[in-house]
Amino acid sequence: MEVHHPHSHHGPKKSKEYIIEFLMLFAAVSLGFLAENIREGFIERHRSHELALALKTDIEQDVEKIQILNTNRIEILRKAKLAVLDIEKNGFKQSDTNQYRLMLRSAYYWQYFEPTTANLDQIINSGSLRYFKNKELIKAIATYKNYINLLQSRNEREKQYFYDVMQPMVLEHLNLSPMDTTHFNGEMINKDFFNKIDSGLINIKSKNLIMFNNDPATQFKVLNAYRAFSINMTNTMRSYVKPYLVESKHLVELLEKELEE
């Protein structure tokens, strides 16, 4: 015999129950969105700090490099000026070691600034600027990138002049045999070689050091070459490097504020 159990019948849900269920569902969804936003905010803040620290480190290292470069250039400019004054007063002196070292030191090699741009390019090209909420910082990064581009363009102008004018003149008319200690024997680097010439620690024995003709046209051409080279480097330092250093300082300050938040 089958036993039939009576089914309990519930009446329709009250509106209060629907409201409670809706509120619970809404709260669960809202909390999920809130938790996801908090997680994404934390990730973005962590990423912005990573990028800010990497960029700040690159800029500080580049500033140090360019300041060393500036110090070397100031010395090269001083030697170039002294060379010009000496040639104007005395003409070319074939066996004069002082005039030789002034001419060689200021025109033998050319140095330029090579910025570190890997992190900067990644921030700009990958869309990582969105991690930074400070609009002033975003603008400063773009401005800094522009100064880097200007410096690199300026480097190309200097490079062309050096290899088209200064280096051929040196190779054709200045005796490089005293530099054998630098390259053939490998005893010292160029910087040490020039420093030891300046301090008299290297005794240059060759008598055929400067092989320019002493006619007015040659003197005029050589003096103009040294003057133009000096003007180019001075303009680079004044019109490109100085603004770059100002913008670098400003950007580093903004990055430090970003890291403090």
Give the model confidence (pLDDT) of 225-258 as tens digits.
Answer: 999 999 999 999 999 999 999 999 999 999 999 8
Out of 124-128, 163-167, 180-184, 257-261, the most confident range is 163-167
65, part of any domain: yes
Distant-in-sequence, close-in-space partners of 59: CB < 8 Å, separation ≥ 6: 144, 248, 251, 252, 255
Residues 6+ apart with CB under 8 A from 190: 108, 109, 179, 182
The backbone torsions φ and ψ at residue 210, rounded to the nearest 5 degrees and listed phi first, read: -120, 115
CA distances from 184 to 107, 181, 189, 192 (A): 21, 6, 11, 15
pLDDT, position 24: 66
User: Domains in the chain: how many in total?
Assistant: 1
Specify the pLDDT at position 247: 96
Give per-residue pLDDT as tens, 7-49. 555 555 566 666 666 666 666 665 555 555 555 544 556 677 8
Q: Is 232 contained in some domain?
A: yes
In a domain, 22, yes or no: yes
Compute CA distances 51 → 44, 131, 153, 167, whole Å.
10, 9, 26, 41
Mean pLDDT lowest for which of 4-13, 46-55, 147-156?
A: 4-13
> Which residue range is the domain that position 116 belongs to?
17-174+209-260
> Is residue 201 domain-resident?
no
Region class of 3: left (phi > 0), else alpha (psi between -120 and 50), else beta: beta
Phi, psi of 12 (to 5 degrees): -60, 145
Both tokens of 11, joined, read 């009446």
Does the CA dihedral 93-94-95-96 come out positive or negative? positive
First to last CA, the chain: 79
